[in-house]
């Protein structure tokens, strides 16, 4: 099994957040457009929260501290 690198994982989430920001709007209209925008907003929030987390190992658990401010 490959070694798990938490900082590398957080960097991937940062890259995903940037990809969502840069994602072009597909040629959709109406409800499909609203759904695409809503999903992009949710993805950006999720990826950004994880990307900005600090971490520690505690009792064999990876603990992410997510700033909500």
CB-count burial class (<10 Å; 0-12, 13-18, 19+) for 59: exposed
> Given its phi and psi angles, is residue 60 left (phi above 0), alpha (psi -120 to 50 degrees) or beta?
left
Decide if 1 is inside a domain: no
* 3-state SS class at 62: strand
Residue 1 pLDDT class (50, 70, 90 cuts): low
In which domain, by residue range, is 44 found? Answer: 6-65
Decide if 50 is inside a domain: yes
| Arithmetic mean of pLDDT over the chain | 92
| pLDDT value, residue 68 | 85
The pTM score is 0.80
Decide if 52 is inside a domain: yes
CB 62 within 8 A of CB 6: yes
Average pLDDT over residues 20-34: 92
Average pLDDT over residues 33-43: 94
Decide if 49 is inside a domain: yes
Decide if 17 is inside a domain: yes
Write the pLDDT tens digit of every residue in 11-21. 999 999 999 99
| Structural domain count, the chain | 1
| pLDDT value, residue 3 | 86
């Amino acid at each position: 099994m490959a070694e798990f690198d938490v900082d590398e994982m957080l960097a991937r989430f940062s890259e995903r957040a940037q990809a969502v920001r840069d994602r072009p709007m597909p040629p959709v209209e109406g409800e499909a457009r609203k759904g695409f925008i809503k999903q992009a907003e949710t993805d950006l929030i999720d990826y950004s929260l994880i990307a900005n987390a600090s971490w520690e190992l505690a009792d064999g658990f990876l603990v992410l501290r997510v700033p909500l401010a």
